[in-house]
Chain A
């Protein structure tokens, strides 16, 4: 995995936290449509925390380079091959 700060580092230096919904990836899924939940403020928190949209080819994930610079990264991976498409800093922040 290529950390933007540290370069290419072995996978065991990174810790995965969660997948995030493919915002705008045209996945055809409407978030917040969890079964039986009242819409409202809590719908978005509930969706953010609990719901996932799985795709066999396309997974956008939050990882942290825990054994290195500890940067939080937003990673676009293909979970069927393990190939990493892109690595960005989460939130674009330092």
Chain B
């Protein structure tokens, strides 16, 4: 018998104070693996949990299990730099990510879990006059689609981000930026835990320490998954195993256009507020840094992938140095701050940089993968769209372009123009 977690509110804090620690209940329950489910979701990260939640909430499919090899939220959802935005160039992407951003705006209330959506702005820095046409192309596409974007010159940028001091002499001068004000940050753990709690409350089973090792099939359909806790029958299977999708491909015997790469992030010691926005810096010579300040005060820094396949979740030090150099180039005053720790996630990098939500090989097996750098910011839209796909059998318009066949047909969604290489060559 599941006991739902308590409803949260300021009043509930007061009641807990009066009752004691026993007042609270586990966020998610249902750790007993049943024999059969309508849908088995593999991976209790953001996308898996959101998909399970929407299956139950939007489509009334409650016999759902989310099977997780390690712990809820232990994967990339808990390792990213918490940035959310929808300022992508291509319409197939910006409408999708905008759907996610709009959902993030109300997600805290919807899940009754404070996800700390902070629309503090995402600032894509321009480093020469030649950058403006490229940024403008993106910004204008966004504005036509009804998504907010602002092109700032140096003077406006100086007012918006005082810590930046754009007129300072730099190797690559900062001349302006493309800004999305509604973008910003969200507390990543809260998203995973919030969805897990809400899904569990709707009847979804969340099973940790349960690794899916194989798939049982008959003809063109999957019938069951083989797990470390036994065989589980499934009406449909959704793989949301970012960072291990390549291995899923191996399990299914299907090569995929995905390479698994490592993405580092790091945080400094906490200081009083100094940066109230997200800075994105991409400079010649493969220099990049994403800089924001967490609500606890630490500067959260990240860059691009290390550049070679890795499952180690431990980044190469020379890549970390590169990101730190880029950071200090943008905000030299950060030089005095101390790096406390760094960590890494394992990313599915697709051969065009955009995700894959599609059937794979069997008519009831779905892949929700290939998120590259855009996994965290996509979670709410991905969950809703993927659930709809699984429940109805056809992909909703929003994700139609994320099909697996696009690589063969040429309908690529290559935002930066790097081609079939996750690494910028």
Contact = CB atoms under 8 A, between A and B. Distances in A.
A contacts B directly (C-beta below 8 A): yes
A93 interface: no
B307 A16 contact: yes
Contacts of A63: 308
Main secondary structure of the interface of B (DSSP, over half): loop
Contacts of B423: 15-17
Contacts of B361: 35
B410 to A, nearest CB: 10
B216 to A, nearest CB: 16
Interface in A37-94: 37, 46-47, 49-56, 59, 61, 63, 77, 79-82
Contacts of A80: 310-312
A54 B276 CA distance: 40
A51 B308 CA distance: 16
B316 interface: yes
Nearest to B316: A11
B258 A81 contact: no
Contacts of A34: 254-255, 257, 404, 407-408
Given A47-B255, A79-B260, A36 B408 contact: yes
Interface residues of A, number: 37
Residue of A19, A50, A52 most packed against chain B (CB within 10 A):
A52
A54 B259 contact: yes
A31 B250 CA distance: 12
Contacts of A24: none
A54 B256 CA distance: 8
Contacts of B257: 34, 50-52
Contacts of A49: 351, 420
Interface string B399-424: 00000110111000000000011010
A57 B311 CA distance: 9
B399 to A, nearest CB: 16
A42 to B, nearest CB: 8
B214 interface: no
A71 to B, nearest CB: 17
A26 to B, nearest CB: 12
A54 B254 contact: no
Contacts, number: 109
Interface string B357-374: 010110000000000000
B20 interface: no
A53 B246 CA distance: 7
Contacts of B245: 54
B318 interface: yes
Nearest to B311: A80
Nearest to A82: B312
A27 B308 CA distance: 21
Nearest to B351: A50
Contacts of B318: 10-12
Contacts of B312: 79-82
A21 B405 contact: no
Contact of B254 (A12, A29, A46): A29
B250 A36 contact: no
A9 interface: no
B254 A33 contact: yes
B403 to A, nearest CB: 9
Contacts of A12: 316, 318
B247 A54 contact: yes
Contacts of A61: 308-309
Contacts of A82: 310, 312
Please give me the 5 A-B residue pairs with the lowest Cβ-Cβ distance, nearest first.
A54-B246, A16-B308, A51-B255, A37-B408, A36-B405
Interface of A: 10-12, 15-19, 21, 27-31, 33-37, 46-47, 49-56, 59, 61, 63, 77, 79-82
Interface of B: 244-247, 249-250, 253-260, 307-312, 316, 318, 351, 358, 360-361, 404-405, 407-409, 420-421, 423, 425
23 contacts: A10-B318, A11-B318, A15-B423, A16-B307, A18-B420, A19-B309, A29-B249, A29-B255, A33-B254, A34-B257, A34-B408, A35-B254, A50-B351, A51-B257, A52-B256, A52-B257, A54-B245, A54-B249, A54-B259, A61-B308, A63-B308, A79-B311, A82-B310
Given A29-B253, A79-B311, 18 more contacts: A16-B308, A28-B250, A33-B254, A34-B404, A34-B407, A34-B408, A35-B254, A35-B360, A47-B255, A50-B407, A50-B420, A52-B246, A52-B258, A53-B255, A56-B244, A61-B308, A79-B309, A79-B310
